[in-house]
Every structure is written in C-alpha cells, then in structure tokens.
Structure 1
Amino acid sequence: MLAGRADPCPMSDEHHHDSTSAGCCATETDHDVIVVGGGVAGLSAALMLGRSRRRTLVLDAGRPRNRFAAHMQAVLGSDGKAPEDLLATGIEELRAYDVEVRRAQVTAVATDDRTVTVHTAEGDRITARALVAASGVSDQLPDVPGLSQRWGRSVLHCPYCHGWEVRDRALGVVFTSPLAPHQVPLVRQLSADVTAFFGGFDDGTGSAGAPVELTAELRQRLQAREVKIVTEPVVALHGEGGDLSEVELSTGARVPVEAIFTGAELREQAAYLDGLGLRRAQSPFGEFLEVDPMGHTSNPRIFATGNLTVPTGNVPMSLGAAATTGAGVNHFLAEEDFDDAQQPDRFWENRYGASAQSWSGNPNAALVAEAGDLAPDSSLDLGCGEGADVIWLAGKGWQATGVDISTIAVDRARKAAAAAGVADRTAFSAVDLRTFDPGRQFDLVTASFLHSPVDLPRTEILRRAVGWVAPGGRLLVISHQPGEHHRHHLDLPTVDAEVTALDLPDEAWSIRKQVIPRTVTRPDGTEIEHCDGIVEFSRRAGTSSGT
C-alpha cells in the first residue's frame, strides 16, 4: 500500500508508525558502508562512520604500507609508536562503535543505483550503501642488491617521517623522479654531509627512474650548500644487516653513506575497482583516482582516501584526509536518507526495515468491534502492514486480501498467515495505492489508520475504493482524529470531513459515523488518550459501481 497507520507505540494494534529511526535506509544491505583497507586511513574513516551510527565493516588484507618501519614519527600523540600498535589501538577504539574489522582480500566491486556489492577471495559477497577505498599503494623498488631489505630502515622515502633519526649522518638522495631535486634541500636541513645521486638506480636493465638534467643552475644551487654530486647510477647497497655503510656505483666505486632517501614506484592496491570505470587524474607520481575534497569519486557510491588519492601522504595526513572522507560518506548517506523519506515506497521500507517487528500482531480493536458479527465473504485491507487485520478476518472465515507498499511488511504478513494456518484464505501483495486497481469488488474494504507523513492522496484513494465495494458491502474507514499527540505529524480529517470528502449519494449509500476514545500505553509505561474515528459506508444492494 502507500501509507499506513500512525501510532506512538510501535507494538500497538495499529500497523504503521510515524517516526523514522536513526540511520535507517530503504535499501536492505548488510552494512551501510564497507571500508576496504585497515590501515590508518581506513580505520580513521571507519571511526567517523561508527561515531555517526553507520553500520560499518572494514575489510583488511593485512599488508599495511608502513609495515617495514619499526616506528612512526611526526604523529602527534603517537610519536615513536610502532605502526602495528597504532592500528591495534584504532581497532580497539572502533569496537566501542560496533565497527567490525575483518581479515579479507577484496577481489571485485560492483555498484547499481542503490547498492555496492563486494566480493572477496574468501568467497564472501557483501553489500553496502557506499564503499570507502583505503587500500593504499605499494612501493615498488628496483631489483638492486641490498635495497629492498633496507627499506624503512636505512633506505627511506620521507625526511619528515625518518629524518630526525638519521640527522648529522652521511646521507644520500638517489634521484628516481623529477621531484628528487626538491627533496635535497629537506635532507640538507638534516645533515651537512649530503650526496645527490643523479644516476638513480641501475638494476641491470638500465637506469631506473626519470632522468633529471644536471643543469649549470642546479649544480651551482647544490654546490652552494655543499651538496656532493654523483652522476653514475647506484648498482648495490652494502652494510651490516639493515644498516647501510656505502653504496656501490656502476663504475665499481663506493661512496660512504649511512642512509639514503629515494622514491619508489607507487602502485595502487585497488585492482578490485577496475571494473567501475572511475575517473583518474594525472599527478607527478603517476595516475591516481580523481576525488573531490570529501573523497568522492566519479561513482556516487564509491569514495577513496589515504594514499590511494594522496600517495605521498604520511600518517597524520592520511588520518586527517580519511576523517574528512568518513564525514563525507556520512553526509552523503544522511542526505540520501532525507531524500528517501520523501519517497513513499522507500519511506515505508525504512519503517519496517528498522526493526524485526513493528506491530503487536493483534488486530485493530475497532475492526474487531465493527466486523466481528459480519457474515464472512471477501475482504480487502488497504495498507495491511504486517497483516494482523487480514489474518484475523481469515480466521473468521473471510477470503481476505491485504495490500501494502512495503515489500518487507508484505513478506512478514505472508509468514504470519502461514504460521496462523490461514495462508489458504489470505493473499498479500506489495502495491502502490496511488495506482492500484484490484480489478474486482469485495464485500468488505477496510482502510485502518491510512495516514502518512509522506505523499498520500488519501481522499483520492478512498474515492476509488468506493468502486471496489460490492453491492451490499461496506467500506470501513478507521482513522486517528485530530488531537494534541498527532498535531505535529499528520493532517488528520474528522469523521465529518471524511464523509464530506467522499460525498456519496444517499440513494446508494448509508453512512454511520462515530468517535471512540481509547487509552494507549507507550513503551515507557505512560498512558495517553486517543480518539479514533470510525465511518462505515454501506452500499445499498442493487446499486451500480458508478453510484
């Protein structure tokens, strides 16, 4: 149906409720958000989402980029802490907000206009409303002897992350990109003994890295700060364990160096996004995902953050960017929740999807009083909710039909009818009453608490329902009456206004109306008084459907 029975108590005898719950959505998904990547960026985004009451799942393959480093520096409050300790603290903090962190390798992602579907190498298929890609990049190093085993110890990439620890030592900058000349002044700030290796690395296949021309201007600039210049490529690194003592050049010469700064080739760890056709942007470090300031990609349900979008970002930069992205995802979903709330089908799916059961399962008392003595025949309930009225009528011998706009409600109604043993005398359909036409007539048509905070052409629906009443049959309209409780929620008609709006001819219809007070106990135990309006439109035998 289109709308239903508003009542302050979600376990009352009426079928619909008129206030949404926090964080609900019309689309039934396993989670609100899936975050791919459990490094600092992924956990930071998840923290913002968890604190915003979003059902969040973090999927992590267990290979953080900074796993080669023993400590993190320049992280306020965590300076010198081991990377794995920060992650463990973050995961523990997420538990307070019901964020789940799961070890899994994401292999593919698909989207439609409402849902993100994630597939994992472990065989799982998981759905969400949005996805945050925070799986980072990997550092691809040339195959130079002694290089990879020293990565994160004496082969470094960031003067801010590692520079203090190697201050005043013999340092080198190995050029592997056009940005290398900009790194030299930062390293020179750390030590007076700096060598610039313009030839990059040579792994036997040729010099690795983009060449940088040693112009006269650049040479003069480096020499002014007493930076030594070497043009031959580096072919090997030497030292005890992870320490570095010297680098070997292609000429066989060795240069004493205790640590080098260099840039690796950065590769996205996001092959799972390949099928989405996301827009990309060129950067000095290669081509990476294009995002707006909140991390939104060209796909409305996909966000990206951390090193996937800023590959040179350190831990605090990734933390901050990911927190912004987490807030951006929540804002996107919150706006969507409000958009959904204006769409009748999504609005009522939200209502029913917010809880396992919305109503008590008992028939409306007014219906029981009005229909208890009627001879059973065929009935149609407009806005049947979870089916309590239909099931009660079927139990009395009626062939009872119920319609509701919510597929969740209709599914529950079918199951309840089967459990009550009346499935053979009931029929339920998910329909929109704005366009619904049963194609037949019934001896009893009921519209109990047919109210809605969203679009509901109620009078138009009831006028059409008049034509669905068989000669000698009844249209029974049960509604809330205007009062203090409902004045902020619904525009409710009085019983007199109900009769006037339908304007049925006396020669074809007899009308009986009444207002009945009743007391409702709220979930907190307090009692409030309602007034229900009951209007019975009885069609005289022998009249045509046009009267």
Structure 2
Amino acid sequence: MSETKQRYDVVVIGGGAAGLSGALALARARRSVLVIDGGRPRNEPASHVHNYLGREGTPPSELLAIGRAEAAEYGAEIVRGDVVSAERTADGFRVVREDGGVVEARRLLVTTGLVDELPAVDGLAGRWGREVLHCPYCHGWEVRGRAVGVLAVNPMAVHQALLWRQWTDDVVLFRHDQADFTDEEYERLAARDISVVDGEVAGLEVTGDRLTGVRLTGGTVIPREALVVAPRFTARSAVLEGLGLRPTPMEIGGQVVGTYIAADPAGATEVPGVWVAGNVANLMEQVVGAAAAGLKAASMINMDLVEEDTRRAVDARRTPFSAEAERRVTERVLGDRRHGLQETR
C-alpha cells in the first residue's frame, strides 16, 4: 500500500507489534496515520509468539500480517521502507524515506525496536531463535526437561541459570570469559544442582541441523540441546538521534547491557510531539507488552492532538475574520475545487 497524502496526523516509524497497535488505535480515533516499516522484525528468527493472550503460538509473520490488515481496515496506510531522517518543521515533522519519499506529520510514534548483538562465539547467530535462546518466558516451555546451557556474558549469569532451572533440572552454567563467581553464588547454584564449567566457549556442535553440544576452546564438548545467551540490546535509534534524542545506557552490575530511549510511562520523550513504544524504549518488553505500550502511546498522542485542535478552534472563534479562518472556510466549502479558483485569479 502506498501513501495517498503528503501530511498525516501521525507517522508511525516501525511496523511491529507496538507500531501496528498504535496505528490501529489512532486510525480508530479517525486520525490520518502512515506506518513506515523496514521489514526486519526482531523476532523474525522465532517460530512462534508466546504469552500473547488469544494469539498463543502464532508465527510472528502471521501476527504482523493480521495487525497490518486490522489497521488498514480503519484507514491506516502502511508502506515498506526505511526512514533515513526525521526533522522538526514549523508545525510538525518532516520524514524522509530511503527511496526519497517525503511526508509530513503533526506527531511521530517511533517503534523501531532494538538489535540483539550476540557474543562473538562461532555458531551462535545461525541458531539464534532456534536452540540459542534468551527469554525463558518465550522459549522455556519448548525446552522443558532438556539439557540447557547458560553462557555467562554479564553479571546476571547466575540469576539466568537459576531462572532457567524452573524449566529443567539439567542446567549447566558456562563461566566463559566472566570473573569467577562468589562463594554465595556457588552455594546457590549447588543447592539447585546447577553445574559450572570453567573455560571459554569456542563454538557450537550441530548434528543433523540440531544443536548437540557446546565446544570449549580446549576442544572439550559438553552435550547440550539448548544454549541461553544474553545479547547486548541496542536500540534502533538513528532516526531519533537526528531529533536530538540520544540513547541511554542500561547498566547491570556496572556493565552496560544495552541502550534505550528514555520516555515517560506513556512513551512521551523530551522532544515535544515525539513518542516511543516497544523495545526501543523498554529493552525487556515482550510482544504483548509492546502492543500494550503502542496502544498507550497512541491514546496520549490522540489526546495531545485533541488539545491542539481545540486551541486552534478557540483562536479561530476569537478572530473570525483572520486569514486562517478564511482558509478553513474555503477548504470546507470548496474542498479541492479551491485550487482551480486560485489558478484563474
């Protein structure tokens, strides 16, 4: 679908769960909405979406297709492409796409998500979302009772191992390149029968297109059927940085584990007229949470527009013979025919 307008009430940058949820709510509020989607959803490698009430087990691509159809049913327009820049104008924002297309918006909702940056271990990227996992609530049930490894890459490694122990009694924690654990941490791990393997992990062993083990630098292979890895979560924030919004580092135990764009609970940023929702603002948000955040941001954006529309109406009422009031009357009465009248003058 291609855009039919040059100016919209809201341009949504990012067409994942947060963006489409926001677009749906705004379109139902009779706002003109354009969604620009780069087509690279974070959860594309995953086979199914979980913990989404009413959509449990739905493939990610199917969920997005349903969302696009629902938003479009109420008039939202959706185009595929990357946004290369967004800048403030006198009365809103100017958005430029990679293909050269330019549109204007009164408000922006940015839901560009994040990038999962994996450790430099051979084979991780190729199994990401299959047997190389991160979130136990997303994938724990699917590997319940199986041999699971946890790769220590940040200070939360012990917590991860203890958490995944809920889904299986066969958990091995690979210390990899992290500092040694404390006596208290070893005691907690031992109490839950979690083994610790010293030495750096060099790569994965795959047999018949299935993960079968984790290989250490010395050549030893520890049999495993799944490996838990905590990636670095990096917000897709280039467009927002052009508007003056810089990513905020998220630290755990003094180590940066990701970046996000700071916003209030409804998604409003420090730049007036710009909202964010989903993983670009909350690194730990799951799909259903991202959709809820998109809805919340959309309701606040609509209210903000209502306030602006009301201020303009009050100003027009107070000065009924202004140039602005004349323009509005002309548009209401003549619509597109006004252009022909202007050309004959």
TM surpasses 0.5: yes
Equivalent residue, structure 2, for 1:214: 181
Equivalent residue, structure 2, for 1:302: 274
Equivalent residue, structure 2, for 1:176: 153
Equivalent residue, structure 2, for 1:290: 262
8 A contact 1:279–1:297 mirrored in 2: no
Equivalent residue, structure 1, for 2:254: none
Q: What is the CA deviation profile of residues 34-77 of structure 1, one whole-angstrom value per residue up to 9, with x for unaligned ones?
A: 11111111101111111111100000011000000111111111
Q: What is the CA deviation profile of residues 220-259 of structure 1, one whole-angstrom value per residue up to 9, with x for unaligned ones?
A: 0100000001121211001235421100012211111100
Structure 1's 99 and 222: CA in aligned 2 closer, same or farther, altered over 3 A?
same
Q: Distance in 2 between matches of 1:354 and 1:215?
A: 74
Equivalent residue, structure 1, for 2:220: 253
Bigger proportion of residues as helix: 2
Choose the corresponding residue for 2:79, options 88, 102, 116. 102
TM-score scaled to structure 1, two decimals? 0.58
Q: Distance in 2 between matches of 1:126 and 1:416?
A: 26
Q: Distance in 2 between matches of 1:242 and 1:215?
A: 37
Equivalent residue, structure 2, for 1:333: 305
- Which residues in structure 2 correspond to 1:6-21 (within 5 Å)? none
Q: Shift of the alpha carbon at 1:356? A: 4.5
TM-score scaled to structure 2, two decimals? 0.90
8 A contact 1:268–1:308 mirrored in 2: yes
Q: Shift of the alpha carbon at 1:278? A: 1.5
Q: Distance in 2 between matches of 1:256 and 1:417?
A: 78
Choose the corresponding residue for 1:142, options 89, 114, 119. 119
Equivalent residue, structure 2, for 1:428: none
Q: Distance in 2 between matches of 1:109 and 1:260?
A: 39
Q: Shift of the alpha carbon at 1:183? A: 1.7
Q: Distance in 2 between matches of 1:85 and 1:242?
A: 25
Choose the corresponding residue for 2:333, options 340, 350, 358. 358
Equivalent residue, structure 1, for 2:167: 190
Q: What is the CA deviation profile of residues 339-367 of structure 1, one whole-angstrom value per residue up to 9, with x for unaligned ones?
A: 222223799747855984416xxxxxxxx
Equivalent residue, structure 2, for 1:342: 314
Root-mean-square deviation over aligned CA pairs: 2.4
Q: Shift of the alpha carbon at 1:287? A: 3.0
Q: Distance in 2 between matches of 1:417 and 1:234?
A: 73
- The question of 1:237 aligning with 2:214 is answered no
Q: What is the CA deviation profile of residues 197-239 of structure 1, one whole-angstrom value per residue up to 9, with x for unaligned ones?
A: 121xxxxxxx4xxx35400010001000000011212110012
Q: Secondary structure at the match of 1:109?
A: strand
| Counterpart residue type for residue 264 of structure 1 | P
- Which residues in structure 2 correspond to 1:536-547 (within 5 Å)? none
- The question of 1:129 aligning with 2:54 is answered no
Larger Rg over CA atoms: 1
Choose the corresponding residue for 1:314, options 260, 268, 286. 286
Question: Whose RCO is larger (CA < 8 A, sep 6+)?
Answer: 2
Structure 1's 96 and 349: CA in aligned 2 closer, same or farther, altered over 3 A?
farther
8 A contact 1:149–1:242 mirrored in 2: no
Q: Distance in 2 between matches of 1:350 and 1:309?
A: 40
Q: Shift of the alpha carbon at 1:275? A: 1.9
Equivalent residue, structure 2, for 1:264: 231
Equivalent residue, structure 2, for 1:459: none
| Counterpart residue type for residue 31 of structure 2 | R
Q: Distance in 1 between matches of 2:209 and 2:17?
A: 25
| Counterpart residue type for residue 233 of structure 1 | E
